[in-house]
A and B are shown apart, each in its own frame.
Chain A
């Protein structure tokens, strides 16, 4: 197989899919680092974000890309609301209780999406997008936007965590919760900020999946496993690790089609997850939490 063919048909779609996974995996890693539990409603909140953007396009008549910030803000507050309603009062209980509750939230959010928007596939734009040809490399505009937006959002998040007072408070809470509390950090505010960020990233993840494929009520749930695989692959608690993990899982899924039937490509995430847990459970970049 020619190099360009490999690039155009496997690597580039893999990086696009990987960027979508990365946005979700960063959120999973943040929740794990600060709140210390696996959040199973992550994929379905991404679905919610994708459909909120769909509503902004169809009901408000917004251009597709203008629907992204709207969806991010709405979903961010939806995530804060879900935390207040379902997770907040379980905080003193064993973590596994919250993990189970998040599975329930996943089912509720998905059902809500199905009740409002139905179970049929939808899309933001009708018609087929033709890729532009850049010296033999075929890229669609939406693919470029997906990758660049992912990079931009992750850089903004890193800047926030490294440079601002409350970003540092979030890192402190992840690093040593007791000492953070002794230092006077308000845990409630850290939790609020975490969900705001995680909800926004979820929406972006769902939006770009919908933009590059189509909108379905199961789309987020099906992303849950690859997103977890990405977070663990990169080392739980590491933002840059989640991005790297997302890209690797995305590319591995697309490239696997060369060797195995495409119906099985979703199993790649599972294989990666198993291998990592067996060989290097702390992840490629040594995870902070696990």
Chain B
């Protein structure tokens, strides 16, 4: 299958120095792909490069064959990529429903279907639609953040460390939500600090180190790889 999101030999960084020294990865429709690696490997930076949040100096990023390299975030959203930042990814002083409304800010017309879909995926949120998002638990906040991004009906959802700071119970819940979102027809690319768990539940994974590709393969392959295990997964 041809890739939905394709990133080839991308180099770039925030200032003058290149944090990414040529990263290549792709995501096919209906896939969950994890990016793992040690601290400072450029995992989140690679994700921000896709979303136009840093200066890309080389390489090419396409979505459905369309070049999105260096476009502004709002245009990338229109191309079908939505991004959930790691922190500050909800409007705390607004209700759950208002958070979803903000997700659909650029959409005009009736959004009933979009709301039904998000509330269908996250029944917890439907019960709490009038609650302030800041008063929710960590797992529920992550649902709000993902729900907000899903309101724009993206083809690919980028999640930056969705389980950071969550208890193991919530981590499993978020992974289950990711599967539900995938089964709903959205491909996912996520950056994960919890490498073992992430690779175990993802379809494929990429191991980055020092801003470049180190290993790639299915989750099971990577988990079975001795070098990967020793380097990044704590033996």
Q: A residues 114-170 with Cβ under 8 Å of B?
A: 165, 168-169
Which residue of B74, B88, B98 is within 8 Å of A179 (Cβ)?
B88
Compute how far the CA of A102 lies from the CA of B1 in the bound complex, rounded to whole angstroms.
Answer: 59
| Min C-beta distance of B78 to chain A, whole Å | 9
**Distance A180 CA – B77 CA, assembled complex (angstroms):** 13
Q: Which of B55-63, B99-107, B203-211 binds A?
A: B99-107
Q: If the complex has contacts A176-B88, A178-B85, A178-B88, are A183 and B102 also in contact, measured as CB distance less than 8 A?
A: yes
Q: Do A175 and B83 contact each other (CB < 8 Å), given the known contacts A180-B102, A183-B148?
A: no
Is B126 an interface residue when CB atoms closer than 8 A count as contact?
no
Determine whether the beta carbon of A168 is less than 8 Å from that of B89. no
Residues of A within 8 A of B93 (CB): 171, 174-175, 288
Q: Which of B73, B88, B102 has the most CB of A within 10 A?
A: B102
Interface size class of A (residues with CB under 8 A): 10 to 19
Give Cα A171–Cα B105 distance, bound, in whole angstroms.
13
A-B contact pairs, 23 of them (CB 8 A): A168-B98, A168-B102, A169-B102, A172-B91, A172-B102, A174-B93, A175-B91, A175-B93, A175-B94, A176-B90, A176-B91, A176-B92, A178-B88, A179-B85, A179-B88, A179-B102, A180-B102, A182-B73, A183-B102, A183-B103, A184-B77, A185-B105, A288-B93
Known A-B contacts A182-B73, A182-B83; A169 and B105 likewise in contact (beta carbons under 8 Å) = yes
B94 touches A168 (CB 8 A): yes
Residues of A within 8 A of B101 (CB): 168
Distance A176 CA – B88 CA, assembled complex (angstroms) = 7
Q: How big is the B interface, by class? A: 10 to 19
Of all chain A residues, the one with the shortest Cβ separation from B104 is: A183
Q: For B92, what are the chain A residues with a Cβ–Cβ distance below 8 Å?
A: 175-176
| A residues less than 8 Å from B106 (CB atoms) | 183-184
Closest to A169 in B: B105
Chain B, residues 46-88, CB within 8 Å of chain A (1/0): the string is 0000000000000000000000000001100100000101001
State A170–B106 Cα separation when bound (angstroms). 15
Interface string of A11-34 (1 = CB under 8 A from B): 000000000000000000000000
Q: Give every chain B residue within 8 A of A179 (Cβ-Cβ).
A: 85, 88-91, 102
Q: Are A172 and B85 closer than 8 Å at their CB atoms?
A: no
Distance of A84 from chain B, by nearest CB (Å): 23
Write out the residue numbers on chain B whose beta carbons fall within 8 Å of the beta carbon of A183: 102-103, 105-106, 148
Query: Given contacts A168-B98, A180-B102, could you give 14 more A-B pairs where the C-beta distance is less than 8 Å?
Result: A168-B102, A171-B91, A171-B98, A172-B102, A175-B92, A176-B90, A176-B91, A178-B85, A181-B73, A182-B73, A182-B77, A182-B83, A184-B106, A185-B102
Name the A residues within 8 Å of B148 (CB-CB): 183
Is the CB–CB distance between B74 and A184 below 8 Å? yes
Q: Which residues of B contact A168 (CB under 8 A)?
A: 94, 98, 101-102
Q: Nearest-CB distance from B60 to chain A (Å)?
A: 23
Q: Which residue of A lies closest to B93 (CB)?
A: A175
A171, A172, A174 interface centre (most CB from chain B within 10 Å)? A172
| Neighbouring A residues of B102 by C-beta, 8 Å | 168-169, 172, 179-180, 183, 185
CB-CB nearest in chain B for A174: B93
Please name all residues of chain B whose beta carbon is closer than 8 Å to the beta carbon of A181 when the two chains form the complex. 73
Q: Residues of A contacting B91 with CB < 8 Å?
A: 171-172, 175-176, 179-180
State the CA gap A181–B101 with chains docked (Å): 14
Alpha-carbon gap, A180 to B99, bound state (A): 10
